[in-house]
Amino acid sequence: MIEHPHPASHQSPQTRRVRHLALLAITSACLAAPSLAQEKPKPVVVTKAEKLEGLESKITLTGTVTSPRRSRLSSRTDGLINKLNVDSGHTVKKGDVLMELDTKLGELALSLIEAEQEQAEIELANAKRLVDEAESLAKSGAFPKSEAITLSTNLRIAEAKLKQLKVRKGLQEERIARHKLVAPFDGIIGQKLSEAGEWVATGTPVLELVEMTNLRFDIQVPQEFIGRVKNAESALITLDAFPNKALEAKLSYVVPVKNAISRTFLTRLSISDPDSIAGPGMSGTATLAAHHKNGLAVQIPRDAVVRFPDGSAKVWIVQQSDSGSKVVSRIIKTTGELGVMAKVIEGLNGGETLVLKGNEGLQDNQAVNILPEKESTK
């Protein structure tokens, strides 16, 4: 006779309790296995943060060569251009006549004033003569007093008339002088905006004059770099037109008002250009160096730095305890120029043990196993 197993409903309570406990034990063992695996120290290679005597911070920014003076010269009066004495690219000196307007009408008006002035001088001389004669006759009582007063009044009127004509003559001479456009400073004609034969009104730009001495290099510095730029002791400028020629420069000044849209500060560098290769409008890059004498100076390999998309960075510091080695993270700031080594300006004091290799996926207080660097390549 074949025996059939008893259905579960016929099992004793003690049997069911034993089976339930066994199932719990198996489940707990399965859940505990990954945790035990996670506690296994992660192998890493470490390095030391090296403290330096000083830190030279470098930052590279693009910019443009500018001139201290760039003027659009305009006519000071209405008129017809009679002559343009310069063209684009011509070098001029301060005071050179660059443009002349037709002055024929102005010169005719001046001639008329000069003729009136000559007449006024004759009338004045005659008035003086009559006054002198009247004064001589008045002493003997042979000249009426009222007529003497009239002659004196005529003399003052003649003097005032001559004075008015002298002022009119000076005014007309100034009008004629304004028919000439002179260079206000030394420079080069950048653009010729009008031609001979054209009519120009007062204020119409005719020529562009650019000063070619004391050129500067303008850069827009992001606000997060402005402190380092203000401490810059030197700078090198490389023009895109002359990539193999570096020009020395010094920080002139930083405009203290930032651009509200770009959040940058206009910074100007004075250029040393003995060969005169730089010209206004040329683009290039400026590398500024600042030596932080009193600041923190720590150097670490760049592979020890973990960077994030927002520009922040951190390192993993190894701490020793009785239970072994663990890591903790620390936010740092670098000079922005890693190269082979990263120069740290905030976050490290020097001497810390850092994770060099194996810093991917680490967590704070995670146990690590320090390996010699040669073993990490196996």
The verdict on 96 and 183 lying in the same domain is: yes
Assigned token pair, 365: 């207080």
Confidence of residue 9 (pLDDT cuts 50, 70, 90): very low
The verdict on 166 and 184 lying in the same domain is: no
CA pair distance 165, 163, nearest whole angstrom: 5
Confidence of residue 36 (pLDDT cuts 50, 70, 90): very low
The verdict on 202 and 149 lying in the same domain is: no
20, part of any domain: no
Assigned token pair, 340: 């082979």
The verdict on 352 and 310 lying in the same domain is: yes
Q: For the residues 50-56, what does the mean pLDDT come to?
A: 69
206, part of any domain: yes
130-147 residue pLDDT tens: 998 888 887 777 778 888
Q: What is the CATH number of the domain that holds 168?
A: 1.10.287.470
pLDDT value of residue 342: 84
The listed range with the strongest mean pLDDT (12-16, 57-61, 171-175, 259-263) is: 171-175
Confidence of residue 225 (pLDDT cuts 50, 70, 90): confident
SS3 category, 378 = coil
Residues 6+ apart with CB under 8 A from 279: 65, 212, 215
The verdict on 187 and 232 lying in the same domain is: no
Mean pLDDT score of the chain:
85
Percentage of residues of the chain with pLDDT beyond 90: 59
The verdict on 134 and 169 lying in the same domain is: yes
Question: CA angle at residue 71 from 281 to 255, to 5 degrees?
Answer: 65
The verdict on 301 and 369 lying in the same domain is: yes
6, part of any domain: no
pLDDT value of residue 7: 46
Q: What is the CATH number of the domain that holds 209?
A: 2.40.50.100
Where in the sequence is the domain holding 153, given as residue range(s)?
A: 103-177
CA pair distance 57, 297, nearest whole angstrom: 10
The verdict on 157 and 283 lying in the same domain is: no
Ordered DSSP codes for 299-332: EEEGGG-EE-TTS-EEEEEEEEETTEEEEEEEEE
Confidence of residue 377 (pLDDT cuts 50, 70, 90): very low
SS3 category, 49 = coil
Is the separation of the CB atoms in 179 and 101 below 8 Å?
yes
The verdict on 275 and 312 lying in the same domain is: no
Q: Give 130: exposed, middle or buried? Use CB within 10 Å, 0-12, 13-18, 19+.
A: middle
Cα-Cα-Cα-Cα dihedral of 177, 178, 182, 184, to 10°? Answer: 120
Q: What is the CATH number of the domain that holds 231?
A: 2.40.30.170
Give the chain's domain count: 4
